[in-house]
Amino acid sequence: MNPQPDEWTKKLTDDRMVVYTSNLGSPLSGVGGGVITAQVGDIKHTEIATHPMTRQEIEAIFAGILAK
pLDDT over 50 at 1, yes or no: no
**Regarding predicted confidence, which is higher, 55 or 3?**
55
The upper half-sphere exposure of residue 51, i.e. CA atoms within 13 Å in the direction of its Cβ, equals 1
Domain boundaries, the chain: 6-60
Segment 13-68, tens digit of pLDDT: 999 999 999 998 755 555 678 999 999 999 999 999 998 899 999 999 999 999 88
Question: Could you give the CA distance from residue 6 to residue 4 in angstroms, rounded to a whole number?
Answer: 6
Closest CA to 38 of 14, 59, 11: 59
pTM of the model: 0.83
